[in-house]
Structures are given as C-alpha cells and as structure tokens.
Amino acid sequence: MKKQLSSFSVWAPEKESMILNIVHPIQQKIDMQKDERGYFHASVPHAEQGLRYYYIPEGGSDTPDPRSHFQPEGVHGPSQLVDHQSYRWNDAGWHGLPFKDLIFYELHVGAFTPEGTFEAIIPRLDDFVELGINALELMPVNQFPGSRDWGYDGVYIYAVQNSYGGPEGLKKLVDACHQKGIAVFLDVVYNHLGPEGNYLGKFAPYFTGKYRTPWGDAINFDGPCSDEVCHYFADNLYHWFANYHIDGIRADAVHEVYDRETPHFWVCCHQQVQQWQQQLGKQLYLVAESDFNSPHVVKHPSAGGWGFNAQWLDDFHHALYVLLDKKGIKYYVDFGRMQQLAKAYKEGFVHSGEYVKFRRRRHGASSAGISGEQFLVFSQNHDIVGNRPGGERWSVLLSFPQLQLAAAAVILSPYVPLLFMGEEYGEDAPFYFFADYSDESLRKALREGRKKEFEAFHWDMEPKDALDPHVFLECKLQWHKRNTGSNRNLLNWYRQLIALRREHAVLTNLDKNNIYVTQLGEQGLVLHRQNDRGEQHLLCLFNFSDQPLTYTLPTGEWKLLLTNLPETDLSPSLPLSFPAYSVWVYQVV
C-alpha cells in the first residue's frame, strides 16, 4: 500500500469540524483533526486505489474533495483515490522539444473521434506525425458536469473527465504521444469555475466579490486566506506536469485573474515552474490567452513581466480574417487594412495604443521587441469557430484558394503556428458551443445568456441550443473526408507548408530583426525572411485580392519553392502577374 493513499486532507479554515465519509468499498465515517493552517487531516490504515469518499464540512452534507483526482460518478458523486505511481510510463527518453519548433494542433477530446475518449485519439497519432504536427493542445479535460462540454466550466481542476477515460486514459494518450515525438499541452482555467458541481465555497473562501468576471465572482487571489487559494491553483500545474507528464499549459483568459499583491499569482507560477523543470528534467512551458495586448505577459519577471513563454496572438487572426472574408468587417470593425496584417507580421500586436472602436478607448502596447517564438498564431481555434452562431469553419466561408492562402499565412509566419482540429483537410462539420447541465435553472440561464451574448455582437441568427445532444454530435469530425477530393488536396497543401517550414532554417528563425514586410497596396504583401547572417533569403508573396497582382522580384537569381497554383515560367527580371488568392515562395539561389 502506498503511503500517499492513506492520508486525507482538506482546507477549511472557517470550519470547526470535518468528517471523512468513506462509501466504497467499505462504509466508514472518521472525524478529522484540524491544524493551525486550517487543514483537516485523517489517516486510513488500509486505503487502496479505488476507494471512494466524501467530506462532510461542519453543518453540511456529503461533498466531493476539492482536490479530487477522479470523479467516476460525475461532479456530484464521491471522489476516488488514484495511485499515480502505479502507472508504468514508457517515455523515459522524452525530454521535450524547443518551443520555436512546435506545430500545434488544438483538439476537443469529445468531438475529435466517434468514441470521444483519450484512447481513441491514439490510432490517429501517425496521421499527425505524417502531417508534421508535434504538439497537441487539449481543450480542458478536468471534470465538468455531464458528458459533453467545452471544458471551460469544469469544477474539479485536479480531476480528469470521467467520460473521456479518466486518469488512466489521459496517461496512455500522453505516453503514446511522447513515443511518437509529440508534445502535449493542456488548457487550464484558473479564472473561474463552472456553476454546477462547484462546491469550493462550502469549504473555504475560494471566491471574492471584490472583482467580477464575465462568469461571476472572481477567484480570491489577493484577499484574506488567499495564500492557500494561490497554492491550490499553482499546485495544479505541478499535478499535470508530474502525474501526467504534460509538457505545457495554456492558461485561459489570464486577464481575468485578479491579484494586486506582489508577487502576482502568475509570477509565482513562473517561479515554481522554473524549479520543477530541474526536478522533472525537461523544459516546461506556460502559454497565455490574454486580452491585454501587453508585452508584460511574456516578459521575464525581472523585467516586470509575468514570465509566460508565449501567448496567443488574436490580432493576427482578426487582421487575416477580414482580408479574406470581407463580411468579417461587420464583426471586427477595427480591422480590414493590409497595413494591419503587415504590422502583425513585423511587430505582433496590431492594437498597440491607438483608439479601438470596439472598446471605445485606446488599447494595447507595442510588442515590436518581443521574439516571434513568444506568439502563437492561427486562422481558426475553438473560440473563433464556436462563437459564431452557426459554428462555421473557414471551409464553408472561403474558397479553396483562400483556404490555401490562410494556411500559408499562418505556417509561413515568423511565429509558432496552431491548427484547429479538422482545419488541415477542410472539415466542414460545425463546431458549436455545447454543454450538459442537469440543473434546470442553469439550463435556462445558459440559453438566455447565449442569446443575449449573440445579440450584443449583432449576429444575423440565434445560436443553437447548446444543451441539445444533437448539437454536440454535429460537431464530431468526419475524419474519413481527409482522404478524398479537395479535402485530400488541402491536406497535401498543409503537408507541403509544414515540410517547407521544417526544411528551411530561415522559416524557423523567429528573430524579428530578420523579418521585413513589403506591403503591395491593399492587394497583398511580401514577407522577406533571412538568417542571422543575411546569407539565406526567402520571399513569401501573398495575394489576398480577387484580382491579379503585379510585382517584380528583387535583383538576383530566385528559385520557386512552392505555390498553390500550377507553376508557370516566370522570369524574375520582368514584372510578374500573380493570380488571385495565390501564394508564392521563392529562395535566392
């Protein structure tokens, strides 16, 4: 019997008593003892993996463990002990990959396969390897209500979703990925918990009314008793790194974590991760989703930053999308000029202190000095697709050449690229928002809230009913489509782009000092990429218009490496006419 399986503890500083209620395989109630920090403790001499239990706080009833590692019966059921030492890992030779070399693939476990489980993903890993994907980013997998949800309403941040396969299933997936040379990143939510099954408030002051988030009261990161709250969330990072061999964390909406103390919660996370890297013997990464448009998110704490390795670059998507889909200007009113995409390529943030109509104020700061490897760029992700009322992917909004152009704009960028599941072959199944609440009042509130949210964004239609199980089933990938017709052709295009990025060191040089952008009116632009010594040069020409674009290559001998159109005999000494929605990559010989 492992020692850790015999000890139980729970933080409840304002309670005078606590009972450990074991319900399986035996039934037993044990009075717990409180220490000076407000933790209650109990030992069970013969506890084994699989034991199920509740805590009963003073004046309360059966309540799952806030640090539960598994909820086999869902968010309201008993917690179950998990012996993490019993899993035999096969990834001893895995030490991670440099961040700048990653090609991310974001997926939702439930919608990725018909089975909707971790283990069902494993047979698809060879397809990722063949495509060139070397980093999976899983949307949140911590326990949420029911069997279908995006995961951002999870309520047990340490527990792995039971319907996905629980702790064992996640370990098998990560283990298999590492053996294929694929890193695994996990999306986590530390800015709020979901409404159903959220019992933290029954134990301690985990929440505060001092700040408000879009989802209600904020997490208590800087009020009374906040030290232990910070430990609860920061320890969760170690839980994923140590127990599940996760390579990196993507933190959801870091701007909704409110902490006025020093050091800030995110700085504490950075500092601890630095220590864990040495302990675990591999590079660990923290990636942020941030609405600040501020470089302090990725700057080192010694320079006043939070220390994230990278952050998602939403401005890149907005600038790219409106140029390809002119109707997009209705929803992204501050975008639509080629100059903005040129700025996104050269600097990063498009909004860097100027007035923004959507916000009705100035927004952002310059990221010109931030390395390209500190930004992830994408043409699609779960939010971009799922927050449209019709859940439309770009495959149903754009033409085939436009899809090729969008893929090239991302993969040939001086940033770390991210694909959204199915994008690589033009999946046309929608990706809606979906959930599975059992509480009728929450179901009603969700429906009304979604309707109001979409009215505020002036969409032309109402959103689908997120609680309808058929809405979720519509989101399942149609993986077989990747092998036929235009879907196969698009997949081959992605393969070529990723291979080109891998084969040419110039494309993995993400130093902005080696990147030059030439704007070609409002029709297109040219990315000039070079190595540190200026000895190797690539030109990536993008025509974003529906008309031919005329351009003369710089003096020199150029070799055409890749285009999305049939090659023609183009003499670089003459002005060239590049067809609508085309991509051309040249290398100086």
Distances (CA, A) of 489 to 120, 401, 423, 484: 25, 11, 13, 8
Q: Where are the alpha helices (DSSP H) in 520-581?
A: none
Phi, psi of 362 (to 5 degrees): -70, 150
The reported pLDDT for the residue numbered 37 is 95
Sign (positive or negative) of CA dihedral 46, 47, 50, 55 = positive
- How many residues can be counted in the chain? 589
The reported pLDDT for the residue numbered 278 is 92
How many other β-carbons are positioned within 10 Å of the β-carbon of residue 43?
A: 14
Domains of the chain, with CATH numbers?
Answer: 3-63 (2.60.40.10), 102-198+245-502 (3.20.20.80), 511-588 (2.60.40.1180)
**Annotated catalytic residue within 65, 106, 289, 424:** 289
DSSP 242: I
**Annotated catalytic residue within 65, 252, 424, 436:** 252
* Residues flagged as binding site: 250-255, 314-318, 382-387
Determine contact, residues 472/148, Cβ cutoff 8 Å. Answer: yes
SS (H, E, C) 393-445: CHHHCCCHHHHHHHHHHHHCCCCEEEEECCHHHCCCCCCCCCCCCCCHHHHHH
* Residues flagged as binding site for substrate: 250-255, 314-318, 382-387
User: Reduced to 3 states, what is the DSSP secondary structure of residue 550?
Assistant: strand
Q: Chunked in runs of 10, what are the mean pLDDT values of the chain (589 residues)?
A: 68 98 96 97 90 97 98 98 96 96 98 98 98 98 97 97 98 98 98 97 97 94 97 98 98 98 97 95 97 98 97 98 93 96 98 96 96 98 93 97 98 98 98 95 90 72 90 98 97 98 94 95 97 91 96 91 78 77 95
Distance CA 528, CA 262 (A): 42
Q: Among residues 35, 33, 62, 45, which one has the least CA distance to residue 7?
A: 45
Annotated catalytic, 58? Answer: no
Annotated catalytic, 291? Answer: no
Q: Which residues pair with 52 in a beta bridge?
A: 24, 80
Global confidence as pTM:
0.97
Assign residue 360 a region (left: φ > 0; alpha: ψ between -120 and 50; beta: otherwise): left
Tokens standing for residue 193? 């918990």
